[in-house]
Amino acid sequence: MQTLSCPSCGANVNFMSKASVFAVCSYCQSSLVKQGLDLEAIGKISELHDDLTPIQIGTTGVLSGDTFEVIGRLKVAYEDGFWNEWFTIGHQGLVGWLAEAQGFYALCFPVTDVAMPDKSAIQPGRKVSFGPFGYYEIEDIHEVTCMYSEGELPINAVQGRKSLSVDLTSDEGGMATIEYANQETRAYRGAYQDFDAFQFKNLRPIDGW
Amino acid sequence: MAGNEEQPNMQPEMPADQKGEAVPPPAKATKPRVKSFHCINCGAAVTIRYPGVSLSVICSGCHSVIDATDENYRILTKYFKATGQYQPLLELGSRGKLRGHLWEVIGYMVRSDVSSGYPWEEYLLFNPYYGYRWLTQDKGHWNIVTTIKRKPKRYLTSETELDGRKFKLYNTGRAQVDYVIGEFYWRVMLNTQVTMTDYLDAPQMLSMEKDDKEVIWSLSEYIEPEEVAKAFKPQTKFPRPDGVAATEPPKLKIRHNKIMMLFMIFWGIITCGQIYYSGTALNETALDYTNNFVPNTKQADITTPVFTLKKDKANVAISFNAPVDNSWFWAGGELVNDDTGVSYPFEQDAEYYYGVDDGEAWSEGSGFTKTIIPAVPAGKYYVNMDIESGSFKTTNPRAFSVTIKRNVPNWDNYVWSMIFLSILPIISWCMMRQTEVARWANSDYSPYVSSGS
Amino acid sequence: MVKLYILFGLYLCGLFLYANTTDSYILNLNADPGVRPTGPGAHYHK
C-alpha cells in the first residue's frame, strides 16, 4: 500500500492498487490525480445526496473462492437511472469492478490482449468475440455520465466524465462490459452472483433495515 | 507494492489509531431520508420513501407520475385516470418477511391485457440489500416474481428452455397500465403498451416483457395466499382463489408419477410371478380318450378309463372335440375321484354353423370346447358322462374325443390382477388431468383444447 | 393415495401368490360357479 498526502488538506491518501491513477480525499473531497509520488488536486467532488447502497469502501466479498475488497466507487447516471461501479482489489493485486444496480451484483475483471470492436460497430444483438473466452452478445448500450466518485480509481473519474457503457452476456450466463471513453476502450468479463453468495462483510449499515 | 509505511500525523486534529496512522472519518450510516414536497400539478403532499433508488413517484391526489430525481419534481404524465376504484390489498409502506428476507411494499399497479381486458395486480417490494421483487395477484392467485439477468434459449416459439427446464408457451398479448400508485425504480410510462409472452413450467412462469427500448425477462413462482397474508398482515381480506392458477404446484402430477412408478413395480412383480407359474405348470395330458357316438341320439353313462392326476391343488382342463358340421354336440358329466368318490360336474356344448347369405360367407362356433376345473386334489380319476347330439345330416357313428390336461397355465389371475392394479392409476390420472385442463383454461395455447376456430 | 396404493399393491401381490399356489379363483370375479365338487358318489344326471 502506498500512502501519499493530499495537497489540499494534507490528509493521508492511500493507494492499494498500482492501477489507481485517481483518488478522492476522504476528508476534503478534493479530486486528486496521481503523478508518480505526487498528487495534483484538480477539483472537488460535490456531495452525493440520496444515496442508498449497502456497499461501502472497505466492504469485502467473495467470488469463486477469492476474496476482494472495495477500494473505490464510481456512480454513473444514464438516461433511465443510475448504478454504482465499485472498484475492487483481490488476491495478487487483481483489480475488478463490482457493478451494483437494483439488487443485482456482478463482479468482472479486466480483459487484456483481446481487441474490442470499434465504437461504431456496437449494436444490441451483435456478438463480440472475447478471444479464448468465447462470444458475448450485446444486450444494452448506455451513454453514461459520472455523477460521483470516492476512494481510489483507475480512471480520471471527474464528475461529468462521459463514456459509453456496453453490457454483454454469454450463452453460459456470464457477463461482460466494454467501456468506450475519450481515448480508451476497456473490456471486462465476469459473472452475476446473488447477494448472499458474495458473503459481504463490513457493509454499510442502513437505518431501519 | 510499497510497504506499509507509517506516516507521522500531518494535522493534529485528525484522529489516530494505535499505530499512529491517520484514521479516515467513519462512513456515515445511510439513513433513508424521506422526501416530502407538494405536487406541482395539484398541490397535494407527496412523499418519496426511498429517494436514493426510486425514479418515479405517483401523486395520490391527481395520479400524475412525477420524476423523483428531478429537483423540481417535474411531471412525467399528467392526470393519469384518477379513478379511485382500485384499492391495494397490501398497504403501501407495510413490511413483511417473505422467503427469508424483509420486504417493503412501495408501489402498486393494476395492469390488464389490451385485447381481453383481463386485469391483474402488481405489488412492488423493496429491500436495500436484495433489490426488488413483485407480488402479482389475479383471481385470488398470488405469485412472487423476480427479474432475471440470464436469458433463456429460444429454439421454438411454442417452447423455451431455462436452467435446463422446458417452459411451454402459455400466453401472448399486450399489457397496459390501468392504475398506479407509490414509487418505482424506473420512470413509469403510462399510455404505452408492452408485449408480454409467458411460458409455463409449473410452479414457475417465465415471462418476457418488451417495449421499444428493452426486453426484460422475469421468473414468477406460485406462492400461497396464506404465506403472503402471514407476512404482510393485510387489513383487507384476500379474494377467494378462483379456478386453478397457471403456476399452481403440480402436486397431482407428482403424485401420479409416483403411482405410475409403483404400478410399474407391481406389474413387474406380478408379471414375473405369472412367468414363473406358467413356466412351472405341468401342462400334462393325463388322458386322451376317443369313442364313437351315434348322431342325433342320446347316450348315457360313458365312462373313461382311470387316469392319474399329479401335483396337488392344480387345475384340470377337460376338452372335447366333436365333428360338428352345421350341427351340435353336447356332453355333461363329472370328473370323479376314484378313491374318495368326490366328483366335479361339467357341461359342454360344441356347435358349428356356417353358410352363405347374400353372397357373404359366415361361420359361428367351433368343434372344440373346453372347461377348466380349479384346485383339484391329486389322485386317481375317471370321467363319467352323458352325450347328446342333433342336426346331423347322417346318423352313421362318428368319433369324438376327450382330452384331460393337468395343470394348464392360467392367465385369469394375471388379467384380474392387472385390472385391479389399474384402478388407482386411472383415478389419479383423471384427477391430474382435471387440474391440468383447468390450469390451461386461461391460456390461448392449451394442449387440451383443439385449436380449430 | 400413494400410501394406499402401496398397501393395496402389496395385498394384491399377496393375493396373486395365494391364487396361484392354491389355484384359487379369488381374484377372478368372472369365475364360473358351476365347477364345484358335488360330493361322493354324485352323478350329473338325475
Please check the confidence at residue B226 and state whether its pLDDT lies above 90.
Answer: yes
Going from N- to C-terminal start, the domains of chain A cover 2-44, 60-198
Delineate the domains of chain B, giving CATH numbers in brackets.
83-249 (no CATH), 284-408 (2.60.120.380)
- CA nearest neighbour of A31 among A54, A65, A50, A8: A8
How high is the pLDDT of residue A207?
Answer: 85
Could you tell me if A26 and B25 are in contact, meaning their C-beta atoms sit under 8 angstroms apart?
yes
Please check the confidence at residue B20 and state whether its pLDDT lies above 80.
Answer: no
Q: If pLDDT is split at 50, 70 and 90, which confidence band does B450 have?
A: confident
Q: Is some CB atom of chain A closer than 8 A to the CB atom of B71?
A: no
How high is the pLDDT of residue C46?
Answer: 33
- CA nearest neighbour of A106 among A42, A170, A51, A159: A170
Q: How does pLDDT run across B107-144, given as a tens digit for each residue?
A: 999 999 999 999 999 999 999 999 999 999 999 999 99
Q: Is some CB atom of chain A closer than 8 A to the CB atom of B230?
A: no
- Name which of B300, B343, B421 is nearest C45 (Cβ-Cβ): B300
- Name which of B1, B24, B129 is nearest A195 (Cβ-Cβ): B129
Between B and C, how many CB-CB pairs are < 8 A?
A: 112
The rounded percent of chain A whose pLDDT value lies above 90 is: 69
* Residue B5, number of CB atoms within 10 A of its CB: 9
- Name which of B255, B334, B375 is nearest C43 (Cβ-Cβ): B334
How high is the pLDDT of residue B194?
Answer: 95
- In the stretch 81-110 of chain A, residues with CB closer than 8 A to chain B read 81, 93, 102-104, 106
Please check the confidence at residue B12 and state whether its pLDDT lies above 50.
Answer: no
Whole-number Å distance between alpha carbons of B128 and A54: 7
How high is the pLDDT of residue B2?
Answer: 42
Q: Would the CB atoms of B420 and C12 count as touching at under 8 Å?
A: yes
Could you tell me if B149 and A169 are in contact, meaning their C-beta atoms sit under 8 angstroms apart?
yes
What rounded mean pLDDT belongs to chain B? 89
Which of the residue ranges A68-82, B55-69, B339-353, C14-28 would you say has the lowest mean pLDDT? C14-28
- CA nearest neighbour of B397 among B289, B259, B295, B246: B295
What rounded mean pLDDT belongs to chain A? 92
The CA R_g of chain A, rounded to the nearest whole Å, is: 17
Could you tell me if A89 and A153 are in contact, meaning their C-beta atoms sit under 8 angstroms apart?
no
Q: Which positions in chain C have a beta carbon within 8 angstroms of at least one beta carbon in chain B? A: 1-2, 4-6, 8-9, 12-13, 15-17, 19-25, 27-32, 34-45
Q: How does pLDDT run across B356-394, given as a tens digit for each residue?
A: 988 899 999 999 999 988 889 999 999 999 999 998 998
Whole-number Å distance between alpha carbons of B248 and B266: 30
Q: If pLDDT is split at 50, 70 and 90, which confidence band does B452 have?
A: low
Query: What is the value of pTM for the model shown?
Result: 0.83
Compare B311 and A108 and report the one with higher pLDDT: A108
Whole-number Å distance between alpha carbons of B35 and B118: 36
Q: How does pLDDT run across B404-444, given as a tens digit for each residue?
A: 999 999 898 999 999 999 999 999 999 999 999 999 999 99
Q: Would the CB atoms of A11 and B10 count as touching at under 8 Å?
A: yes
- Name which of C20, C29, C44 is nearest B332 (Cβ-Cβ): C44
Q: Cβ contacts (< 8 Å) between C2 and chain B: which residues?
A: 255, 258-259, 262
Please tell me the number of Cα atoms within 13 Å of C1 on its side-chain side: 21
A2-44, CATH topology level:
Rubrerythrin, domain 2 (2.20.28)
- Name which of C23, C41, C45 is nearest B374 (Cβ-Cβ): C23
**Please, which residues have CB within 8 angstroms of residue A193's CB and are 6 or more apart in sequence?**
A63, A105, A106, A107
Among A184-193, B308-317, B333-342, top mean pLDDT goes to A184-193
- Between the CA atoms of B154, B156, B161 and B164, what dihedral angle is there, to the nearest 10 degrees? -120
Calculate how close chain C gets to B436, using CA atoms only, in Å. 18
Q: How does pLDDT run across B196-208, given as a tens digit for each residue?
A: 999 999 999 999 9
Q: Would the CB atoms of B27 and A12 count as touching at under 8 Å?
A: no
- Contacting subunits of B (3+ beta carbon pairs below 8 A): A, C
Could you tell me if C30 and B290 are in contact, meaning their C-beta atoms sit under 8 angstroms apart?
no
Residue entry with cell 393494476: B110
Residue entry with cell 366333436: B322
Whole-number Å distance between alpha carbons of A145 and A165: 10
**Please, which residues have CB within 8 angstroms of residue B223's CB and are 6 or more apart in sequence?**
B98, B135, B142, B143, B144
Mean pLDDT, residues B43-56: 93
Question: B163-167 — which CB contacts under 8 Å span 24+ positions?
Answer: B165/B201, B166/B201, B167/B199, B167/B200, B167/B201, B167/B204, B167/B205, B167/B206
Helix (H, G, I), strand (E, B) or coil at B274: helix
How high is the pLDDT of residue B210?
Answer: 92
ipTM reported for the complex, 2 dp: 0.93
Q: Cβ contacts (< 8 Å) between A26 and chain B: which residues?
A: 24-25
Could you tell me if B216 and B198 are in contact, meaning their C-beta atoms sit under 8 angstroms apart?
no
Q: Cβ contacts (< 8 Å) between B214 and chain A: which residues?
A: 140
How high is the pLDDT of residue B22?
Answer: 52
Largest Cα–Cα distance of chain A, in whole Å? Answer: 50
Q: Cβ contacts (< 8 Å) between B218 and chain A: which residues?
A: none
- CA nearest neighbour of A97 among A143, A46, A47, A165: A165
- Name which of B255, B343, B420 is nearest C2 (Cβ-Cβ): B255
Q: If pLDDT is split at 50, 70 and 90, which confidence band does C33 have?
A: low
The rounded percent of chain B whose pLDDT value lies above 90 is: 71
Please check the confidence at residue B218 and state whether its pLDDT lies above 90.
Answer: yes
Please check the confidence at residue B30 and state whether its pLDDT lies above 70.
Answer: no
Calculate how close chain B gets to A191, using CA atoms only, in Å. 10
Q: If pLDDT is split at 50, 70 and 90, which confidence band does B18 have?
A: very low
Q: Would the CB atoms of C20 and B277 count as touching at under 8 Å?
A: yes
Q: Is some CB atom of chain A closer than 8 A to the CB atom of B5?
A: yes
Residue of B nearest to A104 (CA): B131
Whole-number Å distance between alpha carbons of B398 and B294: 7
Q: Is some CB atom of chain A closer than 8 A to the CB atom of B4?
A: yes
Q: How does pLDDT run across A75-94, given as a tens digit for each residue?
A: 999 998 999 999 999 988 89
Q: If pLDDT is split at 50, 70 and 90, which confidence band does B151 have?
A: confident
Please check the confidence at residue A17 and state whether its pLDDT lies above 50.
Answer: yes
Q: Would the CB atoms of C37 and B410 count as touching at under 8 Å?
A: no
Q: Would the CB atoms of B129 and A5 count as touching at under 8 Å?
A: no
Mean pLDDT, residues A54-73: 95
